[in-house]
Each structure stands twice: as C-alpha cells, then as structure tokens.
Structure 1
Amino acid sequence: MGNKPAKPEREAVSSLAPDRPEILLKILPPLDHAYVRWLARDLERIHGFAPRNCRAVTPPDHYVEYMQSHGWLDVNLDDPDLAHLFPNPQPIPNDHTSLCKSLVHDLLGRGLLSSAQQVVQRFIASSPTVHDAIFAVEFASASGMDLGPGISGELMRKLVDLGHPLSAHEFYHDRVVAGGIEPDSNIVNSLATCLAKLGKLDDAVKLFDRLIGSGDCVASNAACSAILKGYYEQDKFVEAFDYFVRISDANVKLGMWAYNVLIDGLCQQGYVGEAIEVLDIMCRITGLPPTLHMLKTLFYGLCKRGWSIEAEWIFEEMEAQGFFVDKVMYTSLMNAYGKDRKMKMAMRVYFRMLKNGYDPDICTFNTLIYGFSKMGLFDKAWVLYNLMNDLGIQPNEVTYSIMIHNYCKKGKLDCAMSLLNSMAPCNLTPCVHCYTPIMVALYKQNRCFEVDEWCERMLENGVVPDHVLFFVLMKNKPKGLGIELQLCLLMLQAIAKNGCGLDCSSTINSDKINSTLALEQEIEPLLKKIARSDLNLGNVAGGIYVSALCEGGKTEAALACLENMVIAGCAPLLFTFNSLIKRLFQDGLSEDVKSLIEIMQNWGISPNLETYLIMVNEYCKKEDLALAFGILEQMEEMGLKPNVAIYDCIIACLSQQRRISEAETLFRRMLENGVDPDEVAYMTMINAYARNGKGVKALHLFEMMIENAVQPNSYSYTAL
C-alpha cells in the first residue's frame, strides 16, 4: 500500500529520497501534534517513508508553520484517497508503556524526581488518545509522584488538543486548584484555551489580562488564537479587534488566518478603519506584504462605506504590487465616486480602465448613468446611453429603472413616464421598480387618480407587485375602515396570479368586501397558497399582510401571522420586522421591541437604516432626544452611516425645541459624514433659521440647495 503511485493531476516535487515513493498527506484542524509525530514514526517504521518523502495540500497558514518546523508540511487524514493507508491512532503499545513505567520507577528509586516527571510529561505529550494521557497521570499519582505544574499543564494541553476542553477545565478545578498546585504559563494558557473553546470568552480574556499583567507568564499563540477564534465564531469582530490590539502590544505572533478572518469580518460589518489598522499591524509584526485577498476585501469594504479616496489608494497599491485588478473593481470604484457625487473622478477611473485594455459592459455604463442621473445631469447620462448603444451594448431594465427613478426624484415626471413607455419597443418589460417611483411622484403632485390608472396598467401587464409598492400606496390612500386590508388583498391576488400563476377567478374583488374580518378570511388562505407555490413570494406576501395588520392596529394578529409564516417555512423580510417594530412602539411596548430585535438578530437579520429611522422617529415624537442621539451614536459605532432621513428627524425635533445651535451643529455633522441633504432636510433647516430670525443663514442655505441641484418646492420659498 505504501507504494501506491501519486495521482497524475497532483503536481510532484523533487524528492530527496528518489528510491522511495512520495506520499501526499493532509490533516484537518485541529492539528494534533502528537498524532503527527506518531504518524511520522509509523510511516518510517512500517512503510519506510521519511518526512522528506511527504508533501502537502495545505489548509490554514498557522498549521503550515508548525509542520515545516518539524520537516513536514500540512496533512489531512480524512482525504478519501489516502484514508485506507492510515488507520485511526492506536493506543501506545504495551511494550512502550512498560518501558516508560520501568524507567519512571528506576528514576524514582534513584531519587531523580524531576527526571521522572519529565518522562511522564513526554509520555503524555506523545499520547495519541485521551485514555493514554489520563493513564500516565494516574500512574504518576499511584507512584507517589507530585503532579506539579509540569505534568498538570501537559495533561491540560493534551486534553485541549484532543478536543476535550471540558475535561481539561474539570481537571483544573479538581486536581490543580484542589491540589494547591501553583499554575505556571502552560497551565494558564491551556486554561485560557479551554475557556475560549467552551465559549467562556469573558473569562478567557480576564485570564489573558492576568497573563499579560504578570511578568512571569507569557501568553501562548494557541491561547490567543483560541480566544480570537471564539470571537470570530460569534461574529464579534469589534471585540476581536480590541483583543487583537492587546495581543499585538504583547508581541504575540499569530498565523495569517487570524489577520485574514479579522479583516474580512470588520469589512463586512463596516469597520473599515479598524480593518486598515489590522493590516498595518500585520505588516509591522510579520514583515510580510498584504495578500491579494486582504487588499480586495479592504477595497470593497471601503467602496461600500463610500471611502472612495482610500479605496483608490488600495487600488493603486494592488497595481504597484503587480496584482491583477479586474473590471469589477474598476466599476466598484466608479460607483463609490458616483455615490459621493464625484463624477469627474468616476470618469477618470473609467478612462483609466479603457487605457488598461478593459471594455466597458452594461454594469459600467449603469454605474456611470446612475452617478450623473443622481446629480440631475441627465444630458451626460444620455451621452453615455447613446455611447452604450453605439458599442452594441443594449440598455437593460436596470438602466431604465435608474433614469426613471432619478427623473422622478428631480420632479421630471413626464420624462420618466415617456422613458417607461419607450421600454416596450426595446423588448423590455418594466418591472415594479420602474412603476413605483412614478406613483410616488404622482402622489407628490396630488395626481392621485392617475396613480390608480398606473397601478391598474401595471397589474394588467403582468408585473408582480412588492412590499415597497404596497407601502407607498397604503401611506397615500385615504384612511378608512379596512382600506389597508383591501389593498393587501388586491396585492396578494396580483402576486398569486402574476407571480405564482394561480387561478384567482374564485376570489372576491377586494373593493366588494367591507368587513375587516371577511377580508382577513379571504387573505389568509390566499397567503398559504402563495407560500406553498413560491416561498420567496410568500415572504413578500406575508410582509404585506403583516404591514396591513400593523397599520390597522392589529398587533396580536400581526404577531400571529409572523409565527404562521415561520411555521410555513418562510423567512420573514426585514420589512416585516420593521412594520412590527413600528407598531409596538406606537403601542408603547418598547421592551417588546427589544425582544423582537433580539429574535430578528438570532435569525441572522440585522437592523437596517429603516429600522433605526423608525426608532429615531418614535423617540423624536416623544421629544426624547437623548435616546434619539443614542441611536445615532450606536449606528456610527457599528459602522452604519445614518441616512439623511435620520438626521432630518433629529434636526426637526431640535428646531421645534428652538435648539437652533445644536440643529446647526448636527446639520454640519451630516455634511462632514458625506450625507447629502435632500429637499426635506434643507427645508427643515431653512424653516428653523427663518422662524428664529436668521434670514441671512436661511438664504445662504437656500443658495447652497440650488448649487447642489436640489429643486426647492413651494414650502422652501414660503419659508424664505
């Protein structure tokens, strides 16, 4: 079996023992050092292999470092191609055990206690099983030997390495503490490792602090890595970062995996500043340049946060190191500049991409069109649109949706309608995202009857409505008994027919049902049919129904609907939770809000800007600015960038309380954080100045509004 030839697809390396066949090994973490040593001896004794005949397929870097230092590379015995070569680790042969026992007795008889303890420690270290390690300790105790910190520490380390941290923890309390043994570095490090693996991270960190604080003990790589891994598994990357900084200050060297995972997690959660600091620390401690994966992770994290200048620095660093920079990265950088209203910089990146031999695609053009449209520069957006056609790239639904949305936002409703009507000749079917902004704009212009016409046209064209459209319609419909449930039934019937292909001919038209109870009885079986047909559409339909119930003040029914959705296998949307959070706030059940957010997070759903806007808005309604500012600070600590609506809520509340100086400070803070004020935010601040006799400042802000291409409405002029 030892002469099994290597598979041809695996690249061979030159062997230092050409007369021996080469073998490919892998060991999956956690790496058992004793097992590797046992395997090495067994290979050499039985198969005639030596370390130089073995090569590797490597998982994480920190295992490679250990194996290389012992003349081996990383290994995985679970590889199905190799498993038949290597049996599970066998207990230490009786002859070896007898030799060790005899040697220990001989050393004790000669009064060499320290040497005897070292033999027991070596026996434990080489034990491939828990049974063998515990046998060594029991033998030492039976021989009248004081276990001391050496043997105790070795056993604890072995138990942790073999995947029995609970046994190590129990041994510490039952034998080390109870026996009055003074813990040394090995014991404390092993204890910290097992606490981390048991999920007791706070206790493990306290122990680490004791290690660092005392001059006698040194924190081990294994203990520090275990604590970091514990934080990673719980997605506590901010806490992991704080701990990482302390590890670095203590000069503990970590494997590359620790840096990689921490940078990934911090960027994913929006803490890009901390991720950059991790990269700097890694380069300083290891002397190694950042890897391609690290740089790309940082780049995308910076783009997501809108740190376009820093993202371009990473971009240039990658090019300087000779790394491949792909088209997606160019497009992401253009998008970051576009969101920041820096279209000159975005176009510079575009031309740089062309110069480096990349052809633009639909994503490139949509990104640039979005940037120009957002700024109201539609002439430039149309230049790109025409260029795209000239290059043979057909505009898609996203292209039209971007331009329609921004036309509506800038008050150019006729242009938006014309653009939507031009999609059919281009063989494009408008989606719900094309219709929704038009209906929002119609409501703003009090053209409510036209909304019904557009909605009817949309549904007749087979478009599937979503929860966003429902929310827009519900908020603008005249209030009345069961209006929200009638609208909900209409939306669900359209989802069933247009999305699921269900026959809805037997269902009653929503406008013919006046009783809320009858509406609920009509909606609930339809919702079940949708969920059975398509779970994703079931999530949307369920969110619409919960929102309608919340709007009607039926909190208990909404919570029951949420429970039924989960039972049916649906994954409720964040929109669904937001509707419930708002309803609970309105009912004065703030403690229930906290519980609901915990449930939401346990399901892997994080609060978004809309969630925080709901909370800030409710606090401002109660004029509880302390809690509103608390939410703002909490968001910034989490790496979330508050949107203009959140700032506007607090500014409006400050203005109502005539705290103009604080409102002004918050407005400046919003600008400094890269958040562009919209028409409402400008109007709020202009009103605040005007009401408090600061006409010059109001006029200055009005001029700034015009310069930033924000179209003032009649209210802004009235305030002036």
Structure 2
Amino acid sequence: MVLKPLFKPHLHPHLPSQSLYLCFNLFSSSIPIPISPNDLETQLRSLCQKPNSQFTEAVSLFHSALDFNLLPSWATCNFLVDALARSRNYGLAFSVYRRMTHVDVLPSFGSLSALIECFADAQKPQLGFGVVGLVLKRGFTVNVFIMNIVLKGLCRNGGVFEAMGLIREMGRKSVSPDIVSYNTLINGLCKAKKLKEAVGLLLEMEAAGCFPNSVTCTTLMDGLCKDGRMDEAMELLEAMKKKGFDADVVLYGTLISGFCNNGNLDRGKELFDEMLGKGISANVVTYSCLVHGLCRLGQWKEANTVLNAMAEHGIHPDVVTYTGLIDGLCKDGRATHAMDLLNLMVEKGEEPSNVTYNVLLSGLCKEGLVIDAFKILRMMIEKGKKADVVTYNTLMKGLCDKGKVDEALKLFNSMFDNENCLEPNVFTFNMLIGGLCKEGRLTKAVKIHRKMVKKGSCGNLVTYNMLLGGCLKAGKIKEAMELWKQVLDLGFVPNSFTYSILIDGFCKMRMLNIAKGLFCEMRTHGLNPALFDYNTLMASLCKEGSLEQAKSLFQEMGNANCEPDIISFNTMIDGTLKAGDFQFVKELQMKMVEMGLRPDALTFSTLINRLSKLGELDEAKSALERMVASGFTPDALVYDSLLKGLSSKGDTTEIINLLHQMAAKGTVLDRKIVSTILTCLCHSIQEVDVMELLPTFFQGTSEGASISCNELLMQLHQSHPKLQLHPF
C-alpha cells in the first residue's frame, strides 16, 4: 500500500492554544517547544473522547509532536490507534500505526487488531493474515475476536469461500468460532447469493454446539427473500419455531418485505396481522415494508390507509417510508405526483435524504421531465444537501437521453468546481461517452476517455463496447482494432454485446468475412449469438448475394434455440425473391404460419415490390389484397412498385383500376409516385380521354414534394398535347 503524507505542519484554527503554539514553531527547530509530555498525552486523549471527538486534530498533533522528537507514551500511541479504528477512521489509524512503529513503539494487541481492520477496509484481507502472524510473534494469543475481524475482511472483499475454509480451520484449532463468526460468514454468503452454502453453514454451526440467534435467522431469511425463495424462508421460520425460537418484529419485517417485493402482497398482509395478533407492535420499518409493497402494485388508496394506521398508533412515517412512496410513484410513471409528495414530506417536518432526492430525480428524468429535475436539484441545494455523484449521474443520463449531450458535458465539468469537488465514477464517464458516440462525436468521446484514464480508471467493458461501436460507425477500423487490443490486454473478457457491436459494424462496412469470423469466434468462446446477430449477418449475406449461406444461418437458428422473428423472415423473403427462388419463399411463408407469426406491413411491401419487379403481377396483386385484408394500409411505395410492374406489361386497365383504388384509400401523392403515374400514362395511353379515366386524388402531397401534381400534369400536357388532362 502506497501512502502519501496525510498531514503537514500548518496552523489549524480548531487546535487548542498550546497545540497552536507548537504548530507555529514547527518551522524552527532552534526554538524550544513550550509543551510538556504530560500536556501532550492529555491533549491527545481528550481530542479522542466522545461526544466532541476531534480525530483529525489528534492525528495532526501526534505527527507534529514526532516531527519535534516529542514521543507520546506507548500506552497513548496504542490508545490513539485503537480509538481511530473503533471510530472507523482506518486511514488515520494506519498512519499513526506506521509512524509509531517507525520510531520503535511496539504495537499492543488492540493496535494489531486495528491494523487487521485497516487492511480489511482497504480491501486487502490477505495482508490481515500477515498481521495474525505478527500477533503470534509478539507473544499474543490469537483469539476469536481477531479471527472474526479477518472473516469480516474476507467476506467484505468477496473471499467468502476462503472465509468458509478459515472458519472450519478454526474449529480444528484451539480457536472455536462463536456466533459472531458464523453470523459474519452467513451474511457474506447471502450477499454473494451463495444461499445453499449459507443454509449448510447453519446446520454446521448447530452441529458444533453454536445455536443461531435472531441475527442469524434474520440474515439468512433476508437472503432467501431477496432471492425470491419465500417458501424456503417460511420453512426455515417453522423449523426455528420448533426449536423454541420466537420471531420478533425485525424478522417479521424481513418476511413481510420479502413477500411484498416478490408480488405476494396478500401473504405480506397475513404475516402483518399474525404479528399484531401475537402482541408484537409494528414499527416504522414494518409499516414501511407494507407501504412500499402497496406502492409497487399501484395500490395508492391502500397505502394511504396504512399511513393513517401508522398515525393512529403514534408512528410517524420516516424518510424511508416517504422515499418508498416516492420510488413507487416514480416507477408507476407518476413522477409529478412524487414531487407533490416530496413537498408534503417537507411540510410534515421530515427531512429528505440524498437517496430521496436521487430517486425522484431519476423518476423525473425517465419521464423526460429534465427541467423539473433541475428544479428539484435547486431545492435540494437550498435545503443544504450536497449533490453526490449519483445525483450528477442521474441528471447527466436524463440530459443524454434527451439528446442534450452538450448540457450534460457542462454539468460534468461543474463536478470539478471547488464548490462541488466531486470525483466522477465509471458510470459518469460511460454516460457521456455513450451519448457522444450515439451522436457520432467520436473525437470528443475519446477525449473524455483519456480524461478518465488520467483520473486513474481505464473504464470497464461497457466503456470499450461504446467506443468500439463509435469507431466502427465512423469507419475508423484502425482505431477500433487498437481498442480491441486494449480490451484483451486489460484482461476484459468480451461479452455477447461486444461481439454484436463488432459484427454489426463490420457488416455495415461490408467487411463480411471479418463479421463471419467474429460470429464463429463468438460461439467458440461459449457465447450464444443473439437474434440481432443472426438478423444482421443474414441481411448482409442476402445483400452480398450469398443466399445459400444466409439460408444455412436461418436454418441453424432453430438448432441454436434462437427462434427467428418477423425481421428474420422479412430478410430471407427479400433475399430469396431477389434470387428468384419462389419455392423457398412459399416455404418461408408456411413456416411463419406454423410459428404463429403474422406478416407485417414490411412483409407485404417486400413481396409486392420484389414480385412486381420479377413480373409476377398476379402474385403481387394477391399480396396486395392480403395486405389490405390484414388491416394494413398500403403506402405510396407499395403502389409505386405495382404501377411500375403493370406499366412494363402495358396493362392500361389494371393501371387505371389501381389508380382508382389508390384514390379510394386516400393515398397521399409524393413527387416520386406522381412521376411514376405520369410515366405509366405516357407509355400506356394513346389518343384517349384521360379526363374520363383518371380519378380525383386528394389535393395534398406528402412532405418533401417539391413540385405539385398539377405542375407535373401540365408538363406532361406540353409534351403530349393530344392527352386530355383532368387536374388532380
């Protein structure tokens, strides 16, 4: 662990006068220090006493004294380390430990225990084992207290299986695990979702003569509830009851919360009534569990009834209750109502927490109410709350989702102001990089990533996925390959999404061989291609004319447990018709029916377009009839394809009939379709009265038409004066 000096000699306004005088003279070793060792001892201890403990000042005084060779006693040095560790100021505790041992002050048992806690907090539990060796070297006995600290460190840092090995080793040695040991490990296993092992450990502890307490049962049941295993949680409760264990309000609250969170509100209510029937008074947590459950199901009237019941029993909703209500309203898409509830909460004298504000901000941003979100931010600041990184991330996401990436960048830059001085996390950077890549602003996205690296984080796989997608979208293959190399060098394991981005990018750049290679590599690494990957690759193969490969890929989908969707069928129908394979098109249509997939507007449009081009006009007209019968309104593109097909056959009657059908359907004419109509008339009608044949179309034209139908007809009249024209 590399530690920077935490304290430098400086004047501090909160130090006592003698300490101030000491600090004032730190820069001149020739001036005698006007403070006695006894005064130093007294001041160090008094600064660590509750309720007005001033740990930072105590550590500053300690370091300053050592700078002048004024060494506190062995007892005071160890007292300071122990006091700092107990107050969870682990960084300060380690700085004092390191300095005192450097001047040969031997650590006490308490200091060594504190050092183990420091390493646990610094996510270095293995170094804690080294301190255990130091405990033995100093002649102390390694007791269960020490081992529990090590267990806690392992569990907190993902070493639950190492912790299981340690607890079993303890059982074989002279140090027997106690209830704290087992509870620590059961809690760690539950948080790691290793519930089978947690239940097994419960049996082990009973066999070792260590009987579970309410903490054990509540912890285990909470883990089962969060995993949705409510039946097992109830079985455990019944088993505990048979052994004489009485459920308390905390345990009931855990079960009620579990049932409500898993959608079984009725069972949660039954347990609530059962608890009251046993004479166990509900507390604010229990009521809050019910309120949260009702809110999740949108049962606001019932939630209000529970709130009234709370008031009748003299229990006031706390910040957790209100936050749950606000969260429920936001998840129900009622963020504006949640704003009203926040105002009511403030009126009732309950102070919203950062979590409350962040939940509401998230709800407002999800509904696109970014302006309202910033109003809440101002209210939050006015109330003396400091926006945290979650607040900024929420607002930046809202801005990016609305396409306001530049505003998100301004907000990002404000995080570094002296007033805020917040450290962005990986989510902050990822949101900006994602927003910029989406807008095609790759250069700026790369700059943000470089800033991220300078801050000490190269990002995660999500970061590189977005940058890879941005590079490929911009056609920057060299840069994409450099990023791919970085992904592998950093030890990131590419996931399905990574491969999907690469396959899609290379397909769009028509580098199909690379895309096919990545598709195969994906499966070699045990990743199953998604429906999107199959559809992307099939579409590219069809465009390239590699129909047989596309067919092979389509048939493979069923074997890969990836059922084709309507996009898959539309892609294959288009490619197959383009190749003139009518038989396979019929097979595809039959398979769609077997799978219960209904053709959509694009299916019919594709059929009509391709069949018209191939001269299969009867099939094309049949497809048009089925399209209309299926409830779809043909657009100008569909009619354009069919008109061109009819024109190539010189079928004047059919053209006129189709024009009447178009008029009856209210088809809006654009420049392209008008041009096609005029071409059809020029090629198919000679010396006829057009006025008598043409229908009257709706006067409007679709958006983007730069010339009106009347103008085009007048041009036709000028070139073909024998045609009798009736204006549309």
Structure with bigger gyration radius:
2
**Which of 1 and 2 has higher RCO (CA within 8 Å, sep 6+)?**
1
What TM-score comes out, normalization by structure 2 length? 0.45
What TM-score comes out, normalization by structure 1 length? 0.45
